[in-house]
Amino acid sequence: MRASARERAARAARFAAPAPCDGGPAALSASPSAVKAARRAALKRKRRGSSDLEDTATHYGHCEHLEKTYLRLTGAVDWSKIRPPRVLKESLEMVKQRWKKEKDYNFASSQLKSIRQDLTVQRCAENERWLLLCIQVYETNARISLESADLEEMHQCLSVLDDLHAHGEKCTRDREVCIQFRDEFAAYRVLHAIHAENTFFLNTARDLAARSRQSIALAHAFAVLAAVRRNAYVRFFELHESAPNMSGFLMDHMLQRVRRNAFQALLKSSYPELDLKIVQEQLRFHDGRQRAEGDMRKFLDRYELEYVYIKSRKGKRFPRAINVQALKKGSSSSSTKTR
Amino acid sequence: MSAYAETLAAAVVRRDGPATAKLLRLDESAHPGGWAFVQQSVLAKMRERKSADDFARASEAEAQAVGLGEFSALCGLHLATVGSLAAAHECDAGPARREKLDTAFRLHSQAFKKFLELFRKDGSSWLVETMMTLIHDTRSLAVWADSETSETHTEHLRETKSLLETCFRQTTMGRAMTDDAQRKRMVGLYIVNHQFKVFFALKSLQLCRNLVRSVEMPTFPNLEDFPLNQQVMYEYYRGRLLILDDRVTDARRALQFALDNCPPQCRRNRRLILEYLVPISLFCGRAPSQKLLDEYQIGYLSDLMRHVRNGNVRALSALIDDQQDHFIARGLFLALDQLKVIAYRNLFRNVVALYQAQAEERQKTRVPLDLFLRPFELYREPDPLAQLTDAGSADAGGDAKSELMEHVKCVLSNLIYERFVKGYMSHEKEMLVLSPKEPFPKLSVVNPIEG
């Protein structure tokens, strides 16, 4: 199983020349014992038949491209295409600038994914030196995905961030900077769980609940939780208006659900009619004066309702209120609970 | 040591299940003379060897000599485990003890694996008691070993999880209709209960759900056929699972069964059940007597009940906040939020009662919403955000009042929607019109007890 002399020389050569990236662990220096150790590791790898990804020594790539489209990794790693952390830092900056200017989500998403891939392959998350970079990449990705309503991608990033922030808590360098936005993203996790109705997560998030006493973002998220559960729509909309950071974006996704439940409550508790003005105010529809078009109209069209009309000066009919009395006489299925 | 091996050999030859089980237990006195003595002598013997593994091998050889046959390895590993445990007891908490516990656990799980081989080869059911003993001991050992290593360490528990899964598989093997197969299957619930303990410790909801599913499969024996104590344990865990899944009425039923069938002497267990049962029973209007609460020393629950009854949502929130950790650890966090709704219902009911006491007959069912403003302001849930953001509500009086009214209307409309209140609101006249009969139906009617 001994590798041919040529192969061994090729591997040794990889470590002999200093890589273009700065510093790096001892394995990259040209010291003979390090070369021997790397060779042994490479031999072990070959015997096991494993890919470079399971290498025990940390490798850095040496690609210098700032841009790189995302491609799923299959098989062994091509180090000439992997960018070292130093480059990735600049790449992240590039993505941020482009996003500010162009808001091209496809581009940003692909770039960020390949930055993440390069970070994973080089195991940067395990290295305190690059932990902050990893965190910044995932935070940026989460924010951009959230802004672009890609909740799945955002959720993925949030899960990883959870871990990374936990590492950040314990690390000795840059600790403050690493966990700077920890609570903000934890709040997003809570809000996402509310949206996805992940009751298990919400029921057992012990440390999050404890931290909510000191953090506005988390306290806000838990207040939203209570409001949504109890259908306290007035409170919900208050919280929506005062949402910190990007929490409002997540709450946008709950609007539909909250409005529907709120509407049921209003319908059930008003008699003999429910003025549309109230519906508009309470459910925060920003329609024009006519109340005949716009979001509220679309919303109400989903239900089978009868209306009480008024005549305008021009003689046209406009609905003024919902005829609840007629509804109750008719089918009773409209008042089923939706939770 | 050979005396021990001989006793074990005799039991094995006789296929004496209970006796074998007793001999392979980790914390009972399997010997006359006391367990401490046993521990010391085993430990002394172990120290004569280089390591615990060495000792295991040596004991195995001795056991072979005595004619224990296939069980020799098991015997050797068991003795080594006992020795390691004794050594662990002697150390203070710290890396030394951790190491000994690690060794003990490793040896014990090796023993367990050997046992499972023997069990499978044997095919009959005389080893079931031993299996139960080993399960219990492995799990306890795993819990101890994990807790010594660190708070979040779960390696040992995970190992236990796979062992238990193998156990479960083994009990379902064999031809269905034989007596032996039946006996083997009857260990099933015991294993399931221990798996519950492990999965709860591992905080895995999905695994717990899978457990329930496998119990409810037709191939699993009927629950009623199992000993009552196992049924109680099962329902207790199933109830806890249902709480986590936000299925409160089903949880209540399971936990009520557990409580009803748990004998009064098992105080600790009854207390555990009550800690879950009481909060969720409050939704159905069922409250335990003060006497019961005192007896089981769950005084904080009586405060909870009092605030709910009085409609004092402010105090209720403070209490829940205070004990937050405790409630979250039990998965009651979301369920308790619902209690606030009940509290609001009571608050409004009390206001209405006062009003109706001095209102004219004609006006009794028409309650001005204004009446609710002040009580609501006093007893409503405090806003943690307001404290954090120092939101000084220096609004003009009028604004604050209309804001308050909005909230009152919102709470009321939900109470009506959820059928806690029978009536309707007139927004223009700012009035609540109540049904003349039972405007606040009994909670047991709104949240019926039978699902």
Kindly report the number of other CB atoms within 10 A of residue B372's CB atom. 23
The segments of chain B whose pLDDT lies below 70 read 1-2, 27-35, 37, 150-152, 173-177, 390-398, 447-451
**B18 token code pair:** 């209970």
Specify whether A102 is located in the same domain as A229.
Answer: yes
Choose among A215, A229, A269: nearest Cβ to B417. Answer: A269
In this prediction, residue B94 carries a pLDDT of 76
Specify whether A20 is located in the same domain as A84.
Answer: no
Specify whether A324 is located in the same domain as A187.
Answer: no
Residues A222-231: b if buried by 16+ CB within 10 A, e if exposed: bbbbbbbbbb
In this prediction, residue A95 carries a pLDDT of 93
Specify whether A198 is located in the same domain as A304.
Answer: no
Give the DSSP letter string of B174-206: S-TTSHHHHHHHTTHHHHHHHHHHHHHHTT-HH
Residue of B nearest to A268 (CA): B417
Specify whether A161 is located in the same domain as A217.
Answer: yes
**Residue A70 forms part of a structural domain:** no
Strand order in the sheet with A307-311: A273-275, A317-323, A307-311
Listed residues A224, A258, A292: the one ending a domain = A258
Establish if B203 touches chain A: CB-CB under 8 angstroms: yes
- For the residues A155-168, what does the mean pLDDT come to? 91
pLDDT of A335 > 60? The answer is no
Specify whether A240 is located in the same domain as A280.
Answer: no
In this prediction, residue B18 carries a pLDDT of 76
pLDDT of A20 > 60? The answer is no
Q: Are B185 and B178 in contact (CB under 8 A)?
A: no
Specify whether A231 is located in the same domain as A323.
Answer: no
Specify whether A305 is located in the same domain as A217.
Answer: no
In this prediction, residue B372 carries a pLDDT of 92
| A–B CB contacts, 8 A cutoff, strictly below | 104
**Residue A137 forms part of a structural domain:** yes
Report the interhelical angle of B299-310 vs B333-358 (nearest 10°).
40
In this prediction, residue A322 carries a pLDDT of 86
Kind of pairing between the strands at B366-368 and B423-426: unpaired
Specify whether A190 is located in the same domain as A234.
Answer: yes
**Residue A65 forms part of a structural domain:** no
Q: What is the pLDDT of residues A205-232, one digit of tens each?
A: 777 888 888 889 999 999 999 999 999 9
**Residue A302 forms part of a structural domain:** yes
SS3 state at B42: helix
Residues of A in Cβ contact (< 8 Å) with B430: none
Residues of B in Cβ contact (< 8 Å) with A206: 325, 328-329
Establish if B416 touches chain A: CB-CB under 8 angstroms: yes
Choose among B245, B329, B413: nearest Cβ to A269. Answer: B413
Choose among B324, B337, B417: nearest Cβ to A265. Answer: B417
Which residue range(s) make up the domain with A291? 269-329
Establish if B329 touches chain A: CB-CB under 8 angstroms: yes
pTM recorded for the entire structure: 0.77
In this prediction, residue A339 carries a pLDDT of 34
**Residue A337 forms part of a structural domain:** no
Instruction: Count how many domains chain A has.
Output: 3
Specify whether A102 is located in the same domain as A201.
Answer: yes
In this prediction, residue B138 carries a pLDDT of 84
**A158 token code pair:** 């949030």
Tokens 């006789």 found at: B14
Establish if B395 touches chain A: CB-CB under 8 angstroms: no
Q: How far apart are CA A80 and CA A77, in angstroms?
A: 9
Handedness of CA B197, B146, A206, A243 (dihedral sign): negative
Kindly report the number of other CB atoms within 10 A of residue B82's CB atom. 26
Q: How far apart are CA A219 and CA A205, in angstroms?
A: 13
In this prediction, residue A2 carries a pLDDT of 53
Q: With CB atoms and an 8 Å threshold, state whether A337 touches B417.
A: yes
Rounded to a whole number of angstroms, the distance from the CA of B100 to the nearest CA of chain A is: 28
CATH assignment at residue A207: 1.25.40.990
For residue B265, what is the DSSP state?
Answer: T
Strand partners, B432: B367, B425
Establish if B407 touches chain A: CB-CB under 8 angstroms: yes
**B327 token code pair:** 């409630």
Residues of B in Cβ contact (< 8 Å) with A216: 385, 388-389
Q: How far apart are CA B139 and CA B151, in angstroms?
A: 16
Listed residues A228, A258, A288: the one ending a domain = A258
pLDDT of A192 > 90? The answer is yes
**Which residue in A102, A106, A274 sits closest to B424, CA to CA?**
A274
Choose among A199, A271, A337: nearest Cβ to B246. Answer: A199
Q: How far apart are CA B356 and CA B87, in angstroms?
A: 74
Give the DSSP letter string of B419-440: TSS-EEEETTTTEEEEPSS-SS
Specify whether A101 is located in the same domain as A216.
Answer: yes
Residues B294-318: b if buried by 16+ CB within 10 A, e if exposed: eebebeebbebbebbeebbbebbbe
pLDDT of A49 > 70? The answer is no
pLDDT of A34 > 70? The answer is no
In this prediction, residue B389 carries a pLDDT of 74
Q: How far apart are CA B186 and CA B225, in angstroms?
A: 8
In this prediction, residue A36 carries a pLDDT of 62
Specify whether A254 is located in the same domain as A273.
Answer: no
Residues of B in Cβ contact (< 8 Å) with A282: 406, 410
CA dihedral B346, B347, B348, B352 (to 10 degrees): 90
Choose among B332, B388, B414: nearest Cβ to A230. Answer: B414
**Residue A84 forms part of a structural domain:** yes
In this prediction, residue A154 carries a pLDDT of 95
SS3 state at A267: helix
Q: Are A102 and A38 in contact (CB under 8 A)?
A: no
For residue A122, what is the DSSP state?
Answer: T
Q: What is the pLDDT of residues A249-293, one digit of tens each?
A: 999 999 999 999 999 999 999 888 888 888 888 888 875 555 545
Q: Provide the percentage of residues in chain A whose pLDDT is more than 70.
A: 78
**Which residue in A131, A123, A114 sits closest to A52, CA to CA?**
A123
Residues A283-297: b if buried by 16+ CB within 10 A, e if exposed: bbbebeeebeeeebe
For residue A3, what is the DSSP state?
Answer: P
Phi-psi region of A232 (alpha: psi -120 to 50; beta: other; left: phi over 0): beta
In this prediction, residue A153 carries a pLDDT of 94
Kindly report the number of other CB atoms within 10 A of residue B161's CB atom. 20
Q: Is A6 exposed, middle or buried (0-12, 13-18, 19+ CB in 10 A)?
A: exposed
Q: With CB atoms and an 8 Å threshold, state whether B337 touches A229.
A: yes
Q: Are B111 and B20 in contact (CB under 8 A)?
A: no
**Which residue in B137, B250, B387 sits closest to A219, CA to CA?**
B387
Report the interhelical angle of A151-170 vs A128-147 (nearest 10°).
150
**Residue A99 forms part of a structural domain:** yes
Q: With CB atoms and an 8 Å threshold, state whether B418 touches A337.
A: yes
- Restricting to A residues 268-307, those with a Cβ less than 8 Å away from any Cβ of B are 268-271, 275, 278, 282
Q: With CB atoms and an 8 Å threshold, state whether B331 touches A223.
A: no
In this prediction, residue A16 carries a pLDDT of 47
ipTM of the complex: 0.75
**Residue A60 forms part of a structural domain:** no
Q: With CB atoms and an 8 Å threshold, state whether A271 touches B433.
A: yes
Establish if A264 touches chain B: CB-CB under 8 angstroms: yes
Residues of A in Cβ contact (< 8 Å) with B325: 206, 210
Strand partners, B424: B433
Q: How far apart are CA A210 and CA B322, in angstroms?
A: 10
Handedness of CA A21, A27, A30, A36 (dihedral sign): negative
pLDDT of A5 > 70? The answer is no
Residue type, B25: R
Number of alpha carbons in the 13 Å side-chain half-sphere of residue B217:
11
Residue of A nearest to B426 (CA): A270
Listed residues A217, A236, A258: the one ending a domain = A258
Please give the helix or strand (H or E) that residue A310 lies within, else none.
Answer: strand A307-311
> Which residue pairs, CB below 8 angstroms and at least 24 apart, start in B367-371?
B367/B431, B367/B432, B367/B433, B367/B434, B368/B430, B368/B431, B368/B432, B369/B405, B369/B408, B369/B409, B369/B412, B369/B425, B369/B430, B369/B431, B369/B432, B370/B430
